[in-house]
Structure 1
Amino acid sequence: MLLPNLRGDGAVGMMLALAKGFSGYSHQVDLLIVRAEGERSSSMPDGVTVIPLRAKRPLFAVPALVRYLRRTKPDFLVATEHYSGLPALYAIILARTHTRCVIRQDNTWGMDSQRFTGRHKIVTPWMVGRLFRRSEIVAVSKGVARDFVDHFPQLANNVQVIYNPVVTAELRERSLALPEHPWLAPGEPPVVVAVGRLTAAKGFDLLIDAFARVTATVRSRLLILGEGPDRSALQARIRAHDLESACQLVGYQPNPLAFIASANVFVLSSRFEGLPTVLIEALCTNTPVIATDCPSGPREILADGKYGMLIPPNDVGLLAQAISESVRRPPPRDANLNAWLQQFAADTSVKRHLALFDASLASLPPS
């Protein structure tokens, strides 16, 4: 399994969860870490072998990958999206091994590819269209799959949907922990919690703008968990709204579930997603959830709004209104929620990945 780094984001967390699951079924699992740094560097799953590749990014790790593949000859190399998937395929081709490649598509291609600049706008889609046919492509949601096939119809037969391995017994235990933050102590005003990497995709700027409207009518507080390049800009936005006493960026937290479970409302304000893991985790804590109806994942997870409120993306006014209503009158928990969440269970996801591996090995190798 090829990981570009060990950051605290959801994609890395899901790869580590899969690694733990595969190892639990007695498969030998090697974690090939391009750059062994990040918040998860001290939380490797048991039963796996960690192999640092010591490169700046996946493309520069191709020579080390080729040497590894020739030496070890694994059955599968699992990577994520084009950033790691293309280097993985380059290495397999150069190593001339029979290793099969599985590429997990975690985000919608249409939104993610908007960040391409220069020659990458042409070269990267062309390479994906040419080389991804040599791989099994796992879309983490139906929305991600539809979007990917819309852009690469020639790869439709390579794509299947397998939800992320999110719901575990450990997850429920972690949600029972007491968070170390004074705002979440008994008797304090209601607290809204959001979790994610501090980037434009997560829409925390919109959330802060909306929360400024909420505090005008409802006494409440906002905690945003996570780190990222937009920290300074978000902190400036908090100051501009004079929210220092009601809104905090509390950084990366190893157990965000404790914060979510103790909060009055959880908000996902993203502009785009693939299958937001933290939204599924929030449902497991029984905390009321609000999510933007962005591409893609929230509508699938919330069953078209049955298990949480869906708000149009980029609508600050409706987001503020939804938060205010949820703080004042928390909605009741749906009795069918636990059964609904089983499709996101870790063992369900692991078994479906293993079935994909078996089916791939039973077919002819890519030419």
Structure 2
Amino acid sequence: MTTKAIAILIHDFNSGGTEATAFRLATAWIALGHRVTIVAGADRGAMRDRVPAGADLRLLSPEIPRAATSRLRLGAAMAPVLREVAPDVAYITGNFHFWIAPALRRALPGLPIVAKISNPLLPDLPRVVSGIAQRTLRRLTDAIDVFVAMSPELATRDRPLIPHRPIRIAPEPNLATDHHVLSREAPPAIPHILAIGRMERQKNLALALRSFAVLRRDRPATLTILGDGPQRARLEALARRLGIAADVAMPGFVDDIAPHLAAASLLLLTSRYEGFPAAPVEALAADVPVVATDCSPVLRGLLPTPLHGTIVDHATAPALAAAMRATLAQPFTSGGVRPHIVAGYTADASARRYLEIFDEAIALRSCVAR
């Protein structure tokens, strides 16, 4: 496999899962001897200090902050930078950034573009608008050479929407290459619930608070929500209204979640939808069970038994509270059963698979250019 120059395209340093996994991949690619350039539209966000050592960072000037139509301008603004950097392949980190691709394709017709499908390609839509959405999706995906799905289940779900484009599968780099299982001793005297996610509509953290409030009616417990976002004030107000604020901590975005996982009785995931949620993998790797809404088809493979956790079909506070009660009755440690199921999700394995996909995209673009 030849050394590659890889450009990672991001809007900013938002504390989201796509940015975190992209930086983890970048670290692994650099360790394998490849040249990585990160092109960002704006120099802002909680993950600014987590740019991997050895990566070449290029910031747009003038910058393009996030706004309603900012993604429509990113591709054209990034094209001159990419022309100068001359990467072998450009990597788009998730659906949010698909809008970059058409302008890049027009400006740099020979540039191979690979994009990860980070969430469902299309939500459930009324018939009156589904046709428009599918035509827009086709316009965006025509500019991308190869798509990457995070599991076979997600590839099967999305393939009918983009039958004209190849979808390949790569494991998510949710775990560091040198990951080791955390030391977990006796369970805490008071069960501790952990939720991880950006405070926005998709993550539905209001449901986490309501579910915790129901659980608290019949037993003591504490809840920590790791993450930040536009709904913080609303969530803090809801915790006060529910009478649980004294037992809820919201420390914001944290660099190291390991201490929180080590002390957690379970991870609570309340998202409305997800592609491949990183938090359950990180929790299971730390021997922490998971209670989740039915927000992603991959969860059934990650949570096959009650020891691993529970998927709640009906996303209501009473149902989630009941699932938490049942999960808290499971053993605090699993003798390696939980970590074993996610052992393949390391940065090194994912990075090497992506390099194979990049080779395919380079070959495909070369054929088109002839």
What's the TM-score, normalizing by structure 1?
0.86
Give the match for residue 161 of structure 1.
169
Between the two proteins, the alignment pairs up a number of residues equal to: 352
Contact 1:269 1:313 in 2 (8 A): no
Percent identity, please. Answer: 23
Q: Residues of 2 paired with 1:110 and 1:344: CA distance? A: 26
Contact 2:202 2:272 in 1 (8 A): yes
Counterpart code for 1:168:
A
Give the match for residue 71 of structure 1.
84
Q: Residues of 1 paired with 2:203 and 2:354: CA distance? A: 28
Q: After TM superposition, list the pairs within 5 Å mapping 1:36-185 onto structure 2.
A: 36-53=43-60, 54-56=63-65, 57-96=70-109, 98-111=110-123, 125-133=134-142, 134-155=144-165, 158-169=166-177, 171-172=179-180
Counterpart code for 2:23:
L
User: Which of 1, 4, 10 is the equivalent residue of 2:11?
Assistant: 4
Q: Residues of 1 paired with 2:307 and 2:321: CA distance? A: 20
* 1:156-205 alpha-carbon deviations (Å, 9 max, x no partner): xx1122121112255548x569xxxxxxx997622111010011211211
SS of aligned partner of 1:109: coil
Q: Residues of 2 paired with 1:186 and 1:278: CA distance? A: 20
Contact 2:287 2:336 in 1 (8 A): no
Q: 1:33 to 1:83 in 2, by over 3 A?
A: same
Q: Which runs of 5+ in 1 are unaligned?
A: 178-184
Report the alpha carbon displacement of residue 329 of structure 1 after superposing the two structures with TM: 4.4
Give the match for residue 196 of structure 1.
197
Q: Residues of 1 paired with 2:177 and 2:22: CA distance? A: 18
Q: Residues of 2 paired with 1:344 and 1:329: CA distance? A: 24
* 1:27-76 alpha-carbon deviations (Å, 9 max, x no partner): 11100011121111011111110001122234323333221232232110
Contact 1:294 1:313 in 2 (8 A): no
Q: Residues of 2 paired with 1:159 and 1:266: CA distance? A: 31
Contact 2:192 2:222 in 1 (8 A): yes
Q: Which runs of 5+ in 2 are unaligned?
A: 1-7
* Farther-moved stretch of structure 1 (231-240 vs 130-139): 130-139
Q: Residues of 2 paired with 1:261 and 1:193: CA distance? A: 10
Would you tell me which structure has more helix in proportion to its own residues?
A: 1
Q: Residues of 2 paired with 1:299 and 1:24: CA distance? A: 33
* Farther-moved stretch of structure 1 (140-149 vs 218-227): 140-149
Give the match for residue 34 of structure 1.
41
Q: Residues of 2 paired with 1:78 and 1:313: CA distance? A: 36
Q: Residues of 2 paired with 1:138 and 1:187: CA distance? A: 40
Report the alpha carbon displacement of residue 284 of structure 1 after superposing the two structures with TM: 1.3
The answer to whether 1:228 aligns with 2:235 is: no
Give the match for residue 19 of structure 1.
26
Q: Residues of 2 paired with 1:147 and 1:278: CA distance? A: 21
Give the match for residue 345 of structure 1.
346
Report the alpha carbon displacement of residue 124 of structure 1 after superposing the two structures with TM: 5.7
Counterpart code for 1:163:
P
Give the match for residue 283 of structure 2.
282
Give the match for residue 208 of structure 1.
209
Contact 1:22 1:350 in 2 (8 A): yes
Report the alpha carbon displacement of residue 89 of structure 1 after superposing the two structures with TM: 3.6
* Farther-moved stretch of structure 1 (145-154 vs 273-282): 145-154
What's the TM-score, normalizing by structure 2?
0.86
* Farther-moved stretch of structure 1 (53-62 vs 300-309): 300-309
